[in-house]
Each structure stands twice: as C-alpha cells, then as structure tokens.
Structure 1
Amino acid sequence: MNSTTVRGATLEYDDVGPGDGLPVLLIHGHPFNRTLWAPQATALAAAGHRVLTPDLRGYGRSSVGPDKVLLADFADDLAGLLDHLGIERAVVGGVSMGGQISMEFQLRHPRRVRALVLSDTSAPAETPEGKEFRNRLADRLLAEGMDGYAHEVLDKMLAGYNVTRMPEVAARVLEMMCATDPRGAAAALRGRAERPDYRDVLAAVRAPVLVVVGADDAYTPVTDAESIHRLVPHSTLAVVEEAGHLPGAEQPDRFNAVLLEFLGTLG
C-alpha cells in the first residue's frame, strides 16, 4: 500500500505489476474501497499489466474531505495521482459510481485515456427524484452510520442468489460497506446527486471502450449497458452471467477473462 497527497487529500493506493506494463486505473464504487478490485489486480498484474487501485477520498484509508465531493473532484484527484506516478495515459475503468468517475475523467482529461472500462454504471444525469433520494440518504448515513444501510442493500449490490450462494463474497462486500466512513459516503452522495449527463461525452469517445454488466444487476440493468454500448462508437459489450451489480467480485474469473481479452486488443 502507498500514499500521496493530491489536491489536499491523502490518497492510499496499491500499485502492482511491472512498472513498464500497460497502466490500468481501476476505480471502486460506493460505498467500497480499493480492495474491491483485488481479484482483478492479481490477474492483470500476472498478465503483465500495471494495476493502480486507489481509495477515493472519503473511502477506505484515504482522508475524508469536504461535505460534498463532486465526481469532478474524484476525477481530478485521479489525474493528480497519475501525475504523481509519472503516468501520462492509462486505461481508466470503474464500477457503478467508479464508472461515472471514469466518464468524468474522459470529459476532463480525455488525452490521458488510453481506453475506458465501464462496469455496471449509467450515463444520464441524476433525476430530481434521485437527487432528493441521495441527499436524504446522506443525512441518514451521517445520523445512523453505515450498518443498517449496508445490510439493506447487500442483496442489490450482489445478485440476491449470490448472497447465500457465495457467503465469503457477501461477507467481504458487507465488511467494506460497513467500514466506510459515513462522512465520506455522504459527501460522495451529495456530489453524485449533481452529476451531469455523460451521453454526449460517450458519443464523442474515440478510444476503445469495454462495457460490462452483471446479467442480474438490480441497480443498472443490462438495458443501461446496452444504451451505453449503442452510444459509444468503438465499444464492446459483455454480459457476465450469474452476477449482479458487482460482477468483478461475484464472478471474478469471468470478469477477468473479459477484461484481459479487451486489454489484449490495445497493443
């Protein structure tokens, strides 16, 4: 584990694989941390790629920042991390909120994107109802902590059948959620409530894009992934069977196979 200070925040991150390998930056979703990507980091590093998995500000071991953190703040933090590591361009990918941060990174730092990986995410702007929900949830997490929320959403983060079928995975996901600082989670929720529409950004992407989704994702279903796939000129769509919102955790071998095949096309 490594750390650096970027834009006033201390970011903890892992940097594995050969230093001269293709850099792959993987961005976790809410309310998780960099260890969500452990199965991918191991597989990609073994294949010769350099894998960067940071804790976003407010998550994991990174420092908690202001009361509201925009997706733009996360994207600029990650650009700063790449600067710190001397990396000009990288494959940038994320799951859920991490996918939206990847889209924001494409918007703000397009020349630094070698390719995009968008897993279980959505491109349209937040709706008025969604904005109200996220702000109310932020208030709740600050008042009550993470545990009640984490237990409520576990069978949506994972496909319901995988909660019982994969108790070790369920326990790991639940532990990550419960360990998240409510202040960091609330700040991200308030920022995400203001997220813009990324569809025009995606339509203009000329880099290769991999769109991945769990077949039984309750939050961002296959239809959302298909919409992104139709928008992006040079995209590949992969549906991971027997998985929900976190296919990289639920079906790591299948997810890794798709990801490695995609990375192999980049040369």
Structure 2
Amino acid sequence: MNSRARTLLRVHCTVLIPAIAPISVGLMSTAELDGITVAYDDLGTGLPVVLVHGHPFNRSMWRPQAERFSREGYRVITADLRGYGETTMPPESTKTGLDVFAKDICRLADRLGLGRFVLGGLSMGGQIVMEFHRTYPERVAGLLLADTSPQQETEEGKRVRNEMADRVLAEGLNPYAEEVLTKMVSPENVRTMPDVAAHVLGMMRTTPKEGAAAALRGRAERPDYRESLTRVEVPALVVVGTEDEFTPVADAELMHDLIPGSTLAVIEGAAHMPNLEREAEFNDVFARFLKEID
C-alpha cells in the first residue's frame, strides 16, 4: 500500500488562454504489430511517457503535451489506437475490447525498447490505461487518468453504446461529432477558442467509422476497475475539467479516493478536453507530477 498522502489541487484560470492553431500529426513512424500497422510519434529522450488518446480522437490530441515535454527531458510516445487515425485494424474486426488496446500498447512498448514508463490516457484512453495497469502493473512507473471513469458499464450504457455503433456505421461520425462538440469542449471555449474546437471537431469527423464502432462495442463490455485501482503502488495523477458532463468531477474524486497517494487536479473552465481547453494549466500540473517521478 502506498503511504503517500493524497493531494487535491483546484486549478483556476487567471487569464484567457489564446486559441491554439490546428494541430498536425507531424512526422509519423509506423510499426507492424500483430497484423496491424500502428502509426505513432516518438519525440525526445529521457523518462518514457506514453499517452493514450480517447474516443473518437487520434494521437494529435496529445500534440501540445508531446511537444512541450519532449523538449523538457522526456521521451513522449503517442500512437493512434487500432482503427483510429492512421492505425489500421483487421477488416473482419467488429469489436475491439480494452484488453486488445492494452496489448497493442504493450507490444509497441516492447518494440520501442521501453521497460517501465509513465502511462496516461483521457476518457476511453484512461480506461485503456486502467486495463493496462490491471494486466501489466510491473510496466507502469506512473499513471495519468484524465476525464475518465473506472466503473463497469451499466446495462443501459451497453444498449446505448451498441446502438451508437450501429448508428456510426450507418451515418459515419459527422452527425455525432456535431452533436457532442459542446460537451467535448465547453460551449464557452467553443466560442472563445475556435481553433481548439476545430481541432476536436476535425479529429472526430475523420475517425474511421469501423474503428469507432468496434471500440464502442468493446467498451460496452469493459470490466470494473475500482478494485485494481486500490492496488496502484506508483504515483498517480487524476485530472478532470469542472465542466465535464461525460465523466464529471465525482468520477475523478472516486478514483482519487481509491488510489493510494494519488493527486487530484480539478481544472476550472474545461470540459472533457482539459489538455487542449486549458493547455497551460494542464501542462503545469502534469509537469509537477512528472518531476515527482523523475
């Protein structure tokens, strides 16, 4: 059991953060792993940090963090999950479980020669991180869990996710993207940070529908991670935006209570994407966390 005292941070915005330009994926590397081609960026040297994107996004959601921390002495790896961005998936796949995503991360880490590394994820990416920790705890040097939840899916949630998978296959991602934009990014930030809103909308619109549908079906069957979180023995940072409707502050507080010695950072004025909506505040909290590990 980790004996470190738990920490709560409430991060306030003292100035309006200017909108950032649309973020490109940059120079891409690829790896052939278990029948798929994984697209990833590997920037910098030092303590390895692997960041896992959420649904329905791609690795470019982590570009602000990859660029900053790769300059500050960290090796930051961001990859597109199978069926997302520029990573392929088997054409016959109709369901991708969180365990499959976790195995992909493990295989990529092995290919890149990573032993133990800091692992972080947002939303579905956070649940993949929890699955990875549950399965490969010896590989994890630290955990970042952003705007995510540890609970098993409810029966109603299973129905909704499977119906959404059918809808995505029939319609593509455009209608869904338009509907949820002001939940992914707060309405105020959509108005004042149009470049961030455009980046988030663009990621959602360009996500392959087959990959998104397969992940929705797999995520509907996710296990409960609450018990495994009580066994975390490495530094852990839980982050959430105050305006997040998908995974509200209460979910973050639950994880904070479950993880021994964890730090909870509540980012004011952000919804589901605090790393983009409040980039400076998010990065400052993450920087302090990484220094603790390093």
TM-score, structure 2 normalization: 0.89
SS in 2 for 1:87: coil
* Pairing 1:51–2:51 present: no
The residue number in structure 1 matching 2:85 is: 60
CA distance in 2, matches of 1:45, 1:109: 25
Alignment of 1:75 with 2:106, yes or no, is no
- Counterpart of 1:156, as a letter, is K
Residue 10 of structure 1 aligns to a residue in which SS? strand
Residue identity opposite 1:60 in structure 2: G
Matched residues, number: 265
Shift of 1:45: 0.8
- What SS does the aligned partner of 1:212 have? strand
Deviation readout 1:47-82 (Å, 9 max, x if unpaired): 110000000000000002311000000000000000
Segments of 5+ residues of structure 2 without an aligned counterpart are 1-27
Q: Which residue of 1 aligns with 2:38?
A: 11
RMSD (CA atoms): 0.6
TM-score (norm 1): 0.98
Quick check: which one's helix share is greater? 1
Whether the 8 Å CA contact 1:24–1:49 is kept in 2: the answer is yes
Q: Does 1:39 align with 2:80?
A: no
Q: Partner of 1:167 in structure 2?
A: 194
Q: CA deviation at 1:161?
A: 1.2
- The partner residue of 1:198 within 212, 222, 225 is 225
The Cα shift of 1:160 comes to 1.7
Pairwise CA distance, 1:205 = 0.7
In 2: Cα distance, 1:234 partner to 1:81 partner = 29
Q: Relative contact order (C-alpha < 8 Å, sep 6+): which is higher?
A: 2
User: For 1:7 and 1:206, how far apart are their aligned partners in 2?
Assistant: 30
Question: 1 CA distance for matches of 2:94 and 2:172?
Answer: 15
2:40 counterpart of 1:23: no
Q: CA deviation at 1:165?
A: 1.3
CA contact (8 A) 1:159 1:218 kept: no
Aligned partner letter, 1:43: R
**Residue of structure 2 equivalent to 1:234:** 261
1:259 aligned onto 2:265: no
- Which residue of 1 is the match for residue 241 of structure 2? 214
Partner of 1:130: 157
Q: Which runs of 5+ in 1 are unaligned?
A: none
CA deviation after TM superposition for structure 1 residue 139, in Å: 0.2
- Which whole-Å CA distance do the structure 1 matches of 2:85 and 2:129 have between them? 19
Over 6 Å off, 4+ runs: none
- CA shift for structure 1 position 43: 1.0
Q: Which residue of 1 aligns with 2:11?
A: none
Residue among 118, 130, 135 paired with 1:103: 130
CA contact (8 A) 1:89 1:113 kept: yes
In 2, Cα distance between the equivalents of 1:253 and 1:43? 10
Q: Which amino acid aligns with 2:188?
A: Y
Distance (whole Å) between structure 1 residues aligned to residue 34 and residue 140 of structure 2: 20
Q: Separation in 2 of the partners of 1:259 and 1:43? A: 11
Letter of the structure 2 residue corresponding to residue 85 of structure 1:
L
Whole-angstrom distance in 1 between the partners of 2:254 and 2:224: 13
Instruction: Confirm or deny that 1:117 pairs with 2:117.
Output: no
Render the CA deviation track for 1:233-266: whole Å, top value 9, x for unaligned: 0200001111000000111111000001000001
Aligned-partner residue type, residue 60 of structure 2: T
Query: Identity percentage over the alignment?
Result: 55
The CA deviation string for residues 192-236 of structure 1, in whole angstroms up to 9 with x for no partner, is: 000000000101111110000011111101111000000000200
Q: Among residues 141, 146, 156, which one is paired with 2:173 in the alignment? A: 146
Q: Distance in 2 between matches of 1:54 and 1:221?
A: 26
Q: Matches of 2:82 and 2:57 in 1, distance apart?
A: 11
